[in-house]
Structure 1
Amino acid sequence: MTDRVLSIPLRGAWLPLVAPFVELRRHRLLLYRLVVRDVSLRYKGSVLGFLWSMLNPLALLALFSFVFGVVMHARWGSAQQNFSLVIYSGLILFIFLSDVINKAPTLIVQNDNYVKKVIFPLDVLPAVTVGGALVNLLLAMLILLAGELLLTGALPWTWIFAPLVVLPLLMLVLGVAYFLASLGVYLRDIAQVTGILAMVLMYLSPILYPVDMVPPEYRGWLDLNPLTLPVNELRQVTLQGGFPHWGTLGLYALFAYAILVFGYWWFMRTKNGFADVL
């Protein structure tokens, strides 16, 4: 079945800026099928199957809640019942990010048959990885919604802004996935580094502790973490019932868009050499 799209003439300087979206739209049917396949294969043969996508974040939530809430008597404000929700709201964004950056460096290497044997749009592969992680993120956010409703008995209407908070992070992660997928072909050590990087990003972001606990002279380093703003903004709209900080979120979105354009450009610029290396 041919995936028909509206042909839009793109010329000059505009082409690199919109190329990722044009190509993903052009291959949207293939992308959808590969994401479904990726999600189904991930839990194929397991007894609980798709339920693992929800049990994994819940298990981490229980672990961190016990360590920081019971053992270390950590508090996030005055409401102990919200401590788990606060931790969980940040944890699900970290899981989304780490899932992608840990898989991206070996993505092309593990799918070398697409590089060597068939004519295939290789730029779809990083998007498939991000799409599979996004499915898990959406399920995790449903758990957050249900947990908040169960523990507090109400939901703030500002929940409707949650997609606007996640979208910039999605663009940034996709751009990083393009870059790492390409770099991992030429530099295999990247796959070893990303696991360490993921842990650094988690502990240097306000997932397990509030920003106020960090000495003022070190808070600037937390702001450089790509997880810090999405984590704070998601809590703002889902747990605190406040509006996003539109100006800061807009600047983050521009930065994320630049990362996406650069990552896609890098991938397309280097993909012709994949076959020679593999």
Structure 2
Amino acid sequence: MTQSSAMRDANPLQLLRSLRKHWHLLLIMSWRDVVGRYRGSLMGMVWTFVTPLLLLLIYTFVFTVVFKTKWNVETGEQGKATFAIVLFVGMIIHGLMAEILTRSPGLMLGNANYVKKVVFPLEILPLTLFLSAFFHFAVSVGVLLLAMIVLGHPLHLTILLLPLTLLPMVPMLLGIAWGFASIGVYLRDIGHLTGLISTVLLFLSPIFFPVEALGEPYQQLMALNPLTVIIEQSREVVLWGRLPDVSALAIYSVVSCLLGWFGLLLFQKGRKGFADVI
């Protein structure tokens, strides 16, 4: 594929036309991915609820009892309950990115039958991965709301702003899916690297500790983490009832859109050789 052809196919308007034409296929394949993950298991999709809850209990115990992480919350059982909710917000946002990071490198290899079809719209395969990951994220948000009610944490009206707070992250996640799906065809080792990146992000994001607990130089470095702004602003609207920082989200949106476009460009540039390599 020539440079001009790749640039043309990476045009967002061209992508929107493809989505409008194949939206039904996108939805069917996304749901098939969600259901297929639990095919043959005894509990089925119940694991969607059990897994995040189990991790939440383990991490809450480790970081409140073993490591005694300090947050600006009251002590005692109520404080631990608040910490669990604070922790869960960060966990589910990291989980959304982690699923896309770890699964995208093998996406084309796992769908070789589609890759080798001349007329199949390959650009929607990373979108099916995103929608599947977002489905599990939405279930986790439901679990979060239920936990807040059970634990007696107030539900603020600002929680309705959560979708707008998460929206700036979407282009970047799509760019990650497109980019690593393309790279994974030619460089099979990338799957090991993305798994490592996911683990690093888990412990270097403000999930188990507040940004304020770090010194000024480290806070500036933490701001470069792609999860920091989204996690912090999501906690603002969900837990503390405060409006998000619009300027921070606006800057994040610009960078996210650029990364999303770059990932799409990388995918369109590499897709011509997918069938030959696979």
Instruction: Give TM-score scaled by structure 1 length.
Output: 0.92
1:50 corresponds to: 45
Query: C-alpha offsets along residues 185-215 of structure 1, whole Å, 9 cap, x if unaligned?
Result: 1111101100101111121110110001112
Q: Provide closer, same or farther for how the CA distance between residues 246 and 14 of structure 1 changes in structure 2, counting only shifts above 3 A.
A: farther
Which of 50, 62, 76 is the equivalent residue of 2:57? 62
Alpha-carbon distance in structure 1 between the residues aligned to 2:227 and 2:69: 21
Q: Which residue of 2 aligns with 1:242?
A: 242
232-241 or 207-216, which moves further after superposition?
Answer: 207-216
- Measure the CA separation in 2 of the matches of 1:274 and 1:14: 16
Partner of 1:105: 105
Percent of aligned pairs with the same amino acid:
36
Contact 1:237 1:243 in 2 (8 A): yes
Match of 2:11 in 1: 16
Q: Tell me the equivalent position of 1:3.
A: none
Q: Is the 8 A contact 2:104 2:178 kept in 1?
A: yes
**Pairwise CA distance, 1:15:** 7.5
Deviation at 1:248, TM superposition (A): 0.7
Code of the aligned partner of 1:276: D
Q: CA deviation at 1:173?
A: 0.7
Q: Distance in 2 between matches of 1:56 and 1:14?
A: 39
SS in 1 for 2:122: coil
Pairwise CA distance, 1:264: 1.1
Distance 2:21 2:223 in 1: 36
Specify the alignment match of 1:170 in structure 2.
170
Distance across 2 between alignment mates of 1:95 and 1:153: 23
Q: Distance in 2 between the 1:14 and 1:195 partners?
A: 29
1:220 shift after superposition: 1.6
Aligned counterpart in structure 2 of residue 78 of structure 1, from 60, 73, 80: 73
Cα drift, residue 136 of structure 1: 0.3
What is the 5 A alignment of 1:176-215? Answer: 176-215=176-215
SS in 2 for 1:152: coil
| Residue equivalent to 1:263 | 263
- Contact 1:20/1:264 (CA < 8 Å) preserved in 2? no
1:140-191 residue CA offsets vs partner (Å, 9 max, x unmatched): 0111111112222530000110001111212211111100000111111101
Asked whether the equivalents of residues 9 and 268 of structure 2 are also in contact (C-alpha less than 8 Å), the reply is no
Q: 1:108-155 deviations in whole A, cap 9, x for unaligned?
A: 011111112453111111011111000000010111111112222530
Q: Unpaired segments of 5 or more residues in structure 2?
A: 1-6
Q: Distance in 2 between matches of 1:106 and 1:134?
A: 18
Counterpart of 1:34? 29
Count, aligned residues: 267
SS at match of 1:123: helix
Change (3 A) 1:20 1:76: farther
**Aligned equivalents of 2:10, 2:44: Cα separation in 1:** 42
Q: CA RMSD in A?
A: 1.7
Q: Which residue of 2 aligns with 1:5?
A: none
Structure 1 letter corresponding to 2:250: G
Judge conservation of contact 2:10–2:261 (CA < 8 Å) in 1.
no
